[in-house]
């Protein structure tokens, strides 16, 4: 895929997308011409897991330019119920392990929650670290199923060798709970702590 063919989901500062519905097998569009199918084709190329000196653990970086709004990869993993997530988080906290469980909230008439745990089954999305001033953001993306995939998109133009990171609590609805581990993101806007997974 050429850069100019990419699905760009953030066309302007004023127009904010909250979720994406991709074309699917029920659409009458021409698949070869359709620009509304990106997440369903999998992660972009030139992503690399590396030892991040900033975060003192593994991270994910790009070895090529990524334009603002482009899809990077899915945060893929096992889907959990809230009670199973709470059970696993208790074990993680008690044994001081890394926490990979991500809760995505969508607010409509009711609150939808999607909980993903990539710690045992997942993809490279699990290596993105948290930053208080991130270069990526997450969005719910529906393809053939009402349960959304968690898509990771470039929040700005990203250059080769930059580490990819997103705000674990979502910047828009950050609730100010700072009970997590100390944050190593190094941003001048750092809140001091990684946001807790709230269920």
Ligand X SMILES: C[S@@+](CC[C@H](N)C(=O)[O-])C[C@H]1O[C@@H](n2cnc3c(N)ncnc32)[C@H](O)[C@@H]1O
- Residues forming contacts to ligand X in the complex (CB under 6 A) are 55, 57-59, 98-100, 126-127, 129-130, 181, 183-185, 194
* Minimum gap (Å) between residue 187 Cβ and ligand X: 9
Nearer to ligand X, 127 or 153 (CB): 127
The answer to whether 180 and 196 have CB atoms below 8 angstroms apart is: yes
Rounded Cα distance between 60 and 182, Å, is: 20
Strand, helix or coil for residue 41: helix
Rounded Cα distance between 18 and 141, Å, is: 9
Nearer to ligand X, 54 or 147 (CB): 54
Nearer to ligand X, 62 or 143 (CB): 62
User: Residue 169 has which token pair?
Assistant: 């609590």
* Minimum gap (Å) between residue 132 Cβ and ligand X: 8
* Minimum gap (Å) between residue 45 Cβ and ligand X: 20
Q: Cα torsion for 143, 148, 149, 153, to the nearest 10°?
A: 90
* Minimum gap (Å) between residue 52 Cβ and ligand X: 7
* Minimum gap (Å) between residue 12 Cβ and ligand X: 29
Question: 110 vs 55, 113, 175, CA distance in Å?
Answer: 36, 10, 19
Nearer to ligand X, 16 or 121 (CB): 121
User: Residue 78 has which token pair?
Assistant: 């096992």
* Minimum gap (Å) between residue 6 Cβ and ligand X: 25
Which of 7, 160, 21 is CA-nearest to residue 70? 7
The answer to whether 142 and 162 have CB atoms below 8 angstroms apart is: no
Nearer to ligand X, 57 or 175 (CB): 57
Nearer to ligand X, 143 or 197 (CB): 197
Q: Cα torsion for 168, 189, 13, 54, to the nearest 10°?
A: -60
């Amino acid at each position: 895929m050429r850069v100019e063919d990419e699905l760009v989901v953030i066309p302007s500062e004023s127009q904010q997308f909250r979720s994406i519905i991709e074309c699917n097998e029920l659409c009458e569009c021409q698949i070869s011409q359709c620009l509304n199918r990106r997440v369903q084709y999998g992660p972009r190329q030139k992503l690399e897991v590396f030892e991040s000196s900033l975060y003192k653990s593994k991270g994910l970086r790009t070895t090529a330019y990524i334009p603002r709004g482009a899809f990077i990869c899915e945060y893929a993993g096992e889907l959990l119920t809230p009670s199973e997530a709470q059970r696993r988080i208790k074990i993680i906290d008690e044994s001081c392990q890394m926490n990979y469980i991500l809760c995505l909230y969508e607010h409509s008439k009711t609150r939808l929650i999607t909980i993903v745990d990539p710690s045992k089954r997942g993809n490279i999305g699990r290596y993105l670290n948290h930053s208080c001033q991130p270069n990526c953001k997450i969005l719910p993306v529906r393809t053939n199923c009402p349960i959304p995939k968690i898509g990771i998109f470039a929040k700005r133009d990203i250059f080769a060798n930059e580490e990819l990171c997103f705000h674990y609590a979502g910047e828009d609805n950050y609730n100010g709970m700072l009970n997590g581990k100390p944050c190593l993101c190094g941003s001048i806007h750092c809140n001091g702590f990684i946001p807790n997974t709230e269920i």
